[in-house]
Chain A
Amino acid sequence: MAAVAIHQFAQCITCHAWNADHSMVAFCPNNNEVHIYKLVREKWEKLHVLYKHDQIVSAIDWSLRSNKIVTASHDRNSYVWNQEGTGWVPTLVILRLNRAALCVQWSPKENKFAVGSGAKTVSICYYEQENNWWVSKRIRKKHNSSVTSVAWHPNNILIATTSTDGKCRIFSTFMKDLDTRAAGLSSSNDAKFGEQIVQLDLSFTWTFGVKWSPSGNTLAYAGHNSMIYFVDDIGPSPSAQSVAFRDLPLRDVLFVSDRMLIGVGFDCNPMVFAADERGIWSFVRFLDERKIAPSSSKYSSQFSEAFGKLYGQSKHGMTNDSLDTSRHRRGAHENCITCIVPLRNAGDAAVKRFSTSGLDGKIVIWDLDNLTDATR
């Protein structure tokens, strides 16, 4: 099995993040707190509880170099936490939102972070030295619904968002004081702050979990209709691939390399997608070995019982015995996976380890010893 460690931390986990050397994990146990655990002699010990938010913490990101934690919450606020001595000191970020903050991510250079919200906006936040203050600058009037996920391009300027209006959009977040125009890059690099580079209109349903590939050449996001979209050549004429799969929709995705992606979601089992030599993406297999061949697993999902009842009324329904076996889910995760985070070692191009958390309150660490192994 590819899962190397499974730990039950809480009843339910909304999101989690790791520090630079992966010795500490921060997560929200589905309430207004953030718990930080440290692995001490093979055992997880609770070190800190970050207590400042009033409502559920919806997203956490831990910057690797500057060791700062940023949190976003349904209470419409964001805090940046700094480790000082033995404690963590919060600094309020003024977002001026009238709806919940839903997602947050540090930019690759860690001088900005982006907060997506239910107020149909993305706020780009940066530190103002003279005021000792995190300021936010908003990209507004572009989204028609809540922003469910944000992702920074490796160039620290472009940002991709997914929204419940079904679109995926890419914006420039160029700021004079923070960014320099890299010479010789594409024309999208000249865009002003908040300018929309492209709007991808591939899905009719909610979209989630946008991510860039390590090189920044490919973008992927998931639709709530059991589809995943891969987009190349971001710019005026992007080329897109829509991949339909046979199982329940994804909530979040992670590129482990430019040609391989892991998707997690309502099927409770990470799915591997890979691009062949022509660049055509397709579903490869489930990572957790309990489901091997799709054809042999009849209705192996949470809905099997309901279907059993439905089919039971028709003459050709299956017997109840065959349903019983599928009802017991014995995988690493027992409920919807909502979050996937890379465990990247400094200097590694490809992600070999990553962790997932979900509504079952577990954090599972997965190891792809060998990337070719995953495609088998």
Chain B
Amino acid sequence: MEAENIEAIIARIEHKTRKIESLLKQLKPVEALKTALEGSPPNTKDERCKSANWIVVHRAMMAIKDVDGMFSSLDPEYYDILMKYLYRGLATGDRPTCDQCLKIHERLTERAGLGCILRALADTVNTV
């Protein structure tokens, strides 16, 4: 991976961060989550890019208060990628993060089924 390319990805993620902060200020957490998940995973093996993107997704995910409300406006196309980030969240072992991830995981599994979990676990190419 060329350094230039990585810089471009980082710049894109930084831009996303600013957009998310402004959406959260406007009390639009679902829009913020959608923005965070867009263009994810960053399509690179570079760990710095991946962590930067995870921080953005994490920020938006933790801002979700009403999980059921979120799912009523989150389109199914985001389900598979959200599931992958939930597992990344669970892997951190951080108490509040895991609590939030489990809460979303339960609702997401109800909606998207076990197939969604399998796709998240089986996809070894688009790592988050």
The tally of residues in A whose CB lies under 8 Å from a CB in B reads 28
Is B113's CB under 8 angstroms from A224's CB? no
Where chain B touches its partner, the secondary structure class is helix
The tally of residues in B whose CB lies under 8 Å from a CB in A reads 18
Is B114's CB under 8 angstroms from A247's CB? yes
Is A248's CB under 8 angstroms from B118's CB? yes
Is A294's CB under 8 angstroms from B122's CB? no
Scan B34-45; emit 1 where CB is below 8 A from any A CB, else 0.
Answer: 000000000000
Is B118's CB under 8 angstroms from A226's CB? yes
**A51 touches B (CB below 8 Å):** no
Q: Which residues B75-123 have CB closer than 8 A to chain A?
A: 80, 99, 102-103, 106, 109-110, 112-116, 118-119, 122-123
* Residues on B with beta carbons closer than 8 Å to the beta carbon of A245: 113, 115
With A226-B115, A294-B113, A301-B114 as contacts: A311 and B122 at CB distance below 8 Å: no
With A225-B119, A314-B106 as contacts: A303 and B114 at CB distance below 8 Å: yes
**A244 touches B (CB below 8 Å):** yes
Is A246's CB under 8 angstroms from B123's CB? no
* Residues on B with beta carbons closer than 8 Å to the beta carbon of A142: none
Is B119's CB under 8 angstroms from A226's CB? yes
Is A298's CB under 8 angstroms from B110's CB? yes
Complex Cα gap A299–B118 (Å): 14
**B125 touches A (CB below 8 Å):** yes
* Residues on B with beta carbons closer than 8 Å to the beta carbon of A227: 115, 119
Candidates B103, B110, B112, B122; contact of A225 at CB < 8 Å = B122
Measured CB to CB, the closest approach of chain A to B69, in angstroms, equals 14
Candidates B109, B110, B114, B122; contact of A224 at CB < 8 Å = B122
Tell me the nearest residue of chain B to A205, going by C-beta.
B122
Is A204's CB under 8 angstroms from B122's CB? yes
Q: Which residues A279-305 have CB closer than 8 A to chain B?
A: 294-295, 298-299, 301, 303
Complex Cα gap A249–B122 (Å): 11
Is A310's CB under 8 angstroms from B115's CB? no
Tell me the nearest residue of chain A to B125, going by C-beta.
A204
Complex Cα gap A218–B123 (Å): 26
Complex Cα gap A294–B110 (Å): 9
* Residues on A with beta carbons closer than 8 Å to the beta carbon of B109: 299, 307
**B124 touches A (CB below 8 Å):** yes
B80, B109, B113, B124, most chain A CB atoms within 10 A: B113
Scan A55-89; emit 1 where CB is below 8 A from any B CB, else 0.
Answer: 00000000000000000000000000000000000
B99, B103, B106, B116, most chain A CB atoms within 10 A: B106
Tell me the nearest residue of chain A to B118, going by C-beta.
A226
Candidates A225, A248, A299; contact of B123 at CB < 8 Å = A225
Complex Cα gap A246–B114 (Å): 6
* Residues on A with beta carbons closer than 8 Å to the beta carbon of B112: 246
Is A246's CB under 8 angstroms from B113's CB? yes
Candidates B102, B118, B123; contact of A314 at CB < 8 Å = B102
Measured CB to CB, the closest approach of chain B to A150, in angstroms, equals 23
Is B103's CB under 8 angstroms from A246's CB? no
A225, A299, A307, A310, most chain B CB atoms within 10 A: A225
Is B106's CB under 8 angstroms from A225's CB? no
* Residues on B with beta carbons closer than 8 Å to the beta carbon of A307: 109
Q: Interface of B with A (CB < 8 Å)?
A: 80, 99, 102-103, 106, 109-110, 112-116, 118-119, 122-125
- A-B interface, 8 closest residue pairs, ranked by CB to CB distance from nearest: A246-B113, A226-B115, A225-B122, A314-B102, A205-B122, A226-B118, A225-B119, A246-B115
